[in-house]
Structures are given as C-alpha cells and as structure tokens.
C-alpha cells in the first residue's frame, strides 16, 4: 500500500481535476490524503468579490464551513482522507497595500496580482511538514492551468516542498480551466513540465468521480459555462483526452516534473520520517 498526498488549492479542485485517478488509487488499496490549502475560515468584513460569490453559492453566512461539509462527503465517496489548511482563499486576502487582493470584476490570474512570498513560504512549510509526517511515495497537485492566483501559489509552494524533500511530484490539468485554455505559468526554480501523460479512468471510477463532483452543490451554478453544466464539461473533456486510449474512454491529463528534483537532499528530520 502506497501513500499518496494530493494538494488541492480549493475545496473541489482535486476532485474536479484528478478525481478519477484518486478513486482508482483508493480502489487499489493506496492511502490517499487530500490536503486542501485554502480552507481557512474567514471572518467579516468580506471583500465585494467574496460577497458576490457567497450569493452565487447560496451561502451568505459561514460559507467555508458549509463547503467543508461538501468536501467531506466527496472524500467519503472517493475513499480518501481530507485534511485542511488554514490559509485564506484569495477572495478573502488583502494585498501589500491593504486593498483586497481579488477585485470585484478583475482578473484572478497570479501574474496580474501582487506577489505573496510569505504566503507561498507558509504553504511550502505546511506541505513539507505533511510530507515529513506521512512519507508519501508521490505528491500530486495542480499545474495552475489557467493561472488562477490560488492555484499558482499552491502549485509553487508544493513544488518547493517536494524539491526540498526529494519527493516525486506529478501535476494535474486544472479543470474546468483546462477545457478552455492550455496556458500554464512558469514553474519555480529550474524545473519544468515533462512530457504530458493521459491517464486512463475506467467507467466505474468515472461514475464515482461524478458522484463526488455532485457533492459540491454550492459551486455548480458558478461552474456553468455557455449553458453547459460542470458534469457535461468534464465528461466531454475527459472523452476527448481519453481518445488516446480508445473510443469512449475517459482520460485525465497530468505531467511529471523535469529538472533538479531528484538532486534534492532530505533533511535529517525528513529522513527519520
């Protein structure tokens, strides 16, 4: 039995993007832990962007607690264990000048907003401690496809933690962003994406993934795109990816890392764990 650590930016990203693989890992008997980075509990006053999203979610009061309950239901369907970070979602954070990081009608791309080095360092420390505690044989996280600020921060921090501990890492295609763009911001340090890999998802695992996606009911309205539900978007995209394996096959896209990862050296504490 292997231990797999999946680092998800938000309370749905791992399931939306890589849920089929996570189901299959759990089914074969691996221990899968999904650590959601931006699961901290905010307090008012909320930013205008947050207020807008709360209304869209139908969760005007204490929205993150409700979303945690959704995620716990989804984890139960996958067979994974959920763990939750204390870091605030971008819609609740302020920038270096004290203003809201994510404007009401502005872009949430990481390269368009102020840098947050202390945040990235804090996430890297938290993920590094998790790696030391549970000793995963593989870490999987987002590639930041689409360049959402939280995805870019979580990815960069997780790559840093994996490099420091010489832990193999794989990056998934962020969905539904990947349905509409293939833009991926540069990775930190001297690492880059290796060749893409289309990972097959069997029919039963796909059905379980879609049931887990259904648990995130608060997000469904926000995820509708050009009249298509999130389930329709994911299924169409996965069948397109899965053609690599044959007609009517589902697939999820991921990349390994190319670069100096294997040259990282574990600290004594990490070696002991």
Q: 146-167 pLDDT, tens per residue?
A: 999 999 999 999 999 999 999 9
Q: 123-143 pLDDT, tens per residue?
A: 999 999 999 999 999 999 999
Decide if pLDDT at 22 tops 90.
yes
User: What DSSP string describes 39-70?
Assistant: -----SSPPHHHHHHHHHHT--SSHHHHHHHH
Decide if pLDDT at 273 tops 70.
no
Tell me how many domains the chain contains: 1
Picking from 135-139, 199-203, 215-219, 269-273, which range would have the lowest pLDDT averaged per residue? 269-273
- Averaged pLDDT score across all residues of the chain: 92
Residue span of the structural domain in which 111 resides: 3-272
DSSP H helices in the chain: 13-27, 48-57, 63-78, 117-134, 149-165, 203-214, 220-223, 230-242, 268-272
The pTM score is 0.93
What is the mean pLDDT of the segment spanning 57-78?
96
Report the distance separating Cα 14 and Cα 17, nearest Å: 5
Q: Which of 259, 169, 244, 251 minimizes the C-alpha distance to 203?
A: 251
Q: What is the CATH number of the domain that holds 154?
A: 3.40.50.10320
């Amino acid at each position: 039995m292997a231990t797999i650590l999946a680092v998800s930016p938000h309370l749905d990203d791992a399931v939306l993007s890589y849920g089929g693989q996570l189901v299959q890992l759990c089914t074969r008997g691996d221990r899968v832990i999904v650590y959601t980075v931006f699961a901290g509990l905010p307090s008012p006053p909320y930013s205008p962007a947050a207020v807008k999203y709360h209304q869209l979610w139908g969760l005007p009061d204490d929205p993150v607690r409700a979303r945690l309950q959704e995620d716990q239901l989804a984890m139960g369907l996958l067979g994974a264990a959920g763990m939750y970070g204390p870091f605030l979602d971008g819609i609740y954070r302020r920038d270096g000048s004290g203003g809201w990081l994510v404007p009401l009608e502005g872009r949430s791309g990481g390269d368009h907003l102020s840098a947050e080095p202390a945040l990235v360092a804090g996430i890297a420390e938290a993920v590094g401690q998790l790696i030391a505690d549970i000793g995963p044989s593989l870490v999987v996280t987002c590639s930041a496809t689409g360049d959402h600020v939280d995805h870019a921060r979580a990815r960069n921090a997780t790559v840093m933690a994996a490099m420091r501990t010489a832990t193999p890492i794989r990056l998934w295609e962020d969905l539904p962003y990947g349905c509409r763009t293939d833009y991926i911001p540069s990775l930190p340090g001297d690492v880059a994406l290796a060749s893409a890999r289309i990972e097959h998802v069997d029919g039963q695992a796909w059905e379980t993934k879609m049931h887990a996606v259904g648990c995130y009911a608060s997000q469904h309205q926000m995820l509708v795109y050009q009249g298509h539900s999130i389930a329709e978007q994911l299924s169409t995209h996965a069948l397109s990816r899965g053609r690599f394996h044959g007609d009517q096959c589902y697939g999820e896209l991921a990349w390994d890392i190319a670069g100096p990862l294997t040259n990282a050296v574990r600290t004594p504490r990490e070696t002991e764990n």
